[in-house]
């Protein structure tokens, strides 16, 4: 059920949101549970921990709380989803279950090394029909598989792209976007 719903979400996002995308990176990005900032009192000042490194996805409790406040999740759904975060969970994407092509890291690295970042997107367009590709997180579902959170990074050029966290709800067999949080843009 987990994987069926994951592929349904990705295909619905490609059909309805990312229509110019031609490929998806071959593995999901793991999600980390955000912990409250660590602080230390030192000479009467507070030192907060630095932000997470780029490319690392954290879902904090505040994300779930805001969705409860908006009445998109119940408290029990939010608690279940927050407790489901497992930073060790990621998986290879099955190319037979996705409506666009899946490309491996070795292909990405080879194209990048041969062409450099600026020309890499021209090569991706030549090979895949579009320079736009997605990197997708491991999804978090509620216990009934009717609500989900997934992060999607759209890459479209060396200085072109954006990151999104999608809150989705399954309605009549289609995953509909309830909320979008923009996490980065280039």
Q: What percent of the chain has pLDDT over 90?
A: 60
Q: Where are the domains of the chain?
A: 2-185
Which pLDDT score, from 0 to 100, does residue 27 have?
Answer: 93
Q: What percent of the chain has pLDDT over 70?
A: 89
Structure confidence by residue, pLDDT tens digits, 49-78: 555 555 678 898 889 999 999 999 999 999
Q: Which residues contact 41 (CB under 8 A, 6 or more apart)?
A: none
pLDDT band at 45 (very low <50, low <70, confident <90, very high): very low
* Average per-residue pLDDT for the chain: 87
pTM, whole model, 2 decimals? Answer: 0.85
Which of left, alpha, beta for 3 (phi over 0: left; psi -120 to 50: alpha)? Answer: alpha
How far apart (Å, rounded) are the C-alpha atoms in residues 168 and 176? 5
Question: Is the predicted pLDDT of residue 26 greater than 50, yes or no?
Answer: yes
Distance of CA 31 to the CA centre of its chain: 9
Q: Which of 156, 166, 165, 152 is nearest to 186 (CA)?
A: 156
72, 167 in Cβ contact below 8 A? Answer: yes
How far apart (Å, rounded) are the C-alpha atoms in residues 73 and 178? 11
Question: Is the predicted pLDDT of residue 37 greater than 70, yes or no?
Answer: no
Structure confidence by residue, pLDDT tens digits, 123-143: 888 888 888 899 999 999 999
Structure confidence by residue, pLDDT tens digits, 102-116: 988 788 788 878 877
């Amino acid at each position: 059920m987990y994987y069926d719903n994951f592929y349904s979400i990705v295909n619905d996002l490609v059909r309805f949101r990312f229509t110019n995308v031609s490929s998806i990176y071959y593995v999901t990005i793991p999600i980390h549970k955000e912990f409250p900032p660590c602080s230390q009192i030192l000479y009467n000042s507070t030192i907060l921990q630095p932000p997470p490194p780029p490319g690392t996805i954290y879902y904090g409790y505040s994300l779930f709380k805001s969705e409860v406040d908006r009445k998109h999740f119940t408290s029990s759904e939010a608690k279940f989803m927050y407790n489901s975060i497992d930073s060790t969970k990621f998986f290879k994407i099955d190319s037979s279950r996705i409506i666009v092509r899946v490309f491996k890291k070795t292909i990405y690295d080879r194209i990048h090394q041969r062409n450099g970042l600026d020309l890499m997107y021209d090569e991706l367009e030549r090979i895949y029909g579009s320079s736009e590709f997605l990197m997708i997180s491991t999804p978090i579902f509620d216990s009934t598989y009717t609500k989900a959170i997934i992060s999607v990074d759209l890459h479209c050029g060396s200085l072109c792209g954006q990151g999104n966290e999608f809150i989705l709800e399954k309605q009549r067999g289609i995953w509909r976007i309830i909320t979008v949080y923009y996490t980065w843009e280039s």
